[in-house]
Amino acid sequence: FPSHDTVLLLILTLIPAFAAKDKEKATNNLPRVNTLIPQLLPRNPSAKPPPASVQKQLDAFFNGVQAGKIDESFRAIVANNPSLSDPAAVPEFVENIRKGLEVFGPLQGVELYDQRPVGTRVIYLTYISFHTKKPLRWQFVYYMPVRADWKLLNLRFDDTVEQSLIPD
């Protein structure tokens, strides 16, 4: 794992293809990112709160991470989507979150940066978490199937907040 002096990019992507046995690895041995999540932070973010059931899941997740209950929090947020909660993949995702907290410091707070609806049944959410060394960006994609509640489709976090701002 890179030292504190090395520019570090932690990426956690949850997509069904990632759980496949023949995962492709990037050159830095972190999972290759195959995601629809935008890489840049929007210039005019919309901090409109997500639906109540999504907000409840995210509050529980971040509160759990802040309390040091990373494994339980991660398992809870992916529980409603079997393709994301593959028991073989969960330890790797949890370890990536742990490493991020070791490098950047404990979670000191979080705020919603942006919510982007894609039609009426998909939303992209971007949160910024605060740590002693620098902020992290968390991106979540939720989907609401017909006659069902919102479920997490994708989760990603990285330390590229300053690099991901859209220049004027």
Q: pTM (2 decimals)?
A: 0.72
Higher pLDDT, 40 or 21: 40
pLDDT band at 39 (very low <50, low <70, confident <90, very high): low
Average pLDDT, the chain: 76
Contact criterion met (CB below 8 Å) for 154 and 122: no
Angstrom distances, CA of residue 162 to CA of 18, 41, 88, 99, 168 = 27, 9, 33, 20, 14
Closest by Cα among 13, 43, 45 to 26: 13
How does pLDDT run across 88-141, given as a tens digit for each residue? 778 888 899 999 999 999 999 999 999 999 999 999 999 999 999 989 999 999
